Amino acid sequence: MKTKLAADGRAVFHNIPFDFDRAELKPESKSQIAEMAALLKSNPTLKIFIIGHTDGKGEFEYNIKLSGKRATAVTIVLTKDHGISAARIITRGLGPFAPVATNRTEDGREKNRRVELVEQ
């Protein structure tokens, strides 16, 4: 994760999956969020954006709000469960603006429902 941030300025998390039309974190997200927390704890001056994404289905404005809720869900776990200061995190939702796969297939849509960590 640290290497991805240094090289790309961001890290994409496909191990924080979201069901269609949902912002609730699944149990399998815990280890990936713990890795995020470990990175932040080992780099106490690092400030990040948590960016939520959706697939291309549904109404645009709704997807913008949903993606923000996904980012917020991760931020809540980082702050409440891992003690990361909220002052180090800004959350945003980009909806369907930045797909990493096609929205024409279910597999692609699943990949697009994700969260990214971006260095501020």
pLDDT at 1: 82
Q: Domain of 60?
A: 2-119
pLDDT at 15: 85
In 1-120 the beta strands, taken as DSSP E runs, fall at 10-13, 48-52, 89-93, 115-119
* CA 7/CA 74 separation, integer angstroms: 23
pLDDT per residue as tens, the chain (120 positions): 888 888 888 888 878 988 889 999 999 999 999 999 999 999 999 999 999 999 999 999 999 999 999 999 999 999 999 999 999 999 999 999 999 999 999 999 999 999 999 999
pLDDT at 4: 83
pLDDT at 101: 96
Query: What CATH number does the domain containing 8 carry?
Result: 3.30.1330.60
| Cβ(48)–Cβ(89) below 8 Å | yes
Q: Give pTM, 2 decimals.
A: 0.91
pLDDT at 62: 97
Tokens matching residue 115? 């969260």
Instruction: Count up the domains in the chain and report the number.
Output: 1
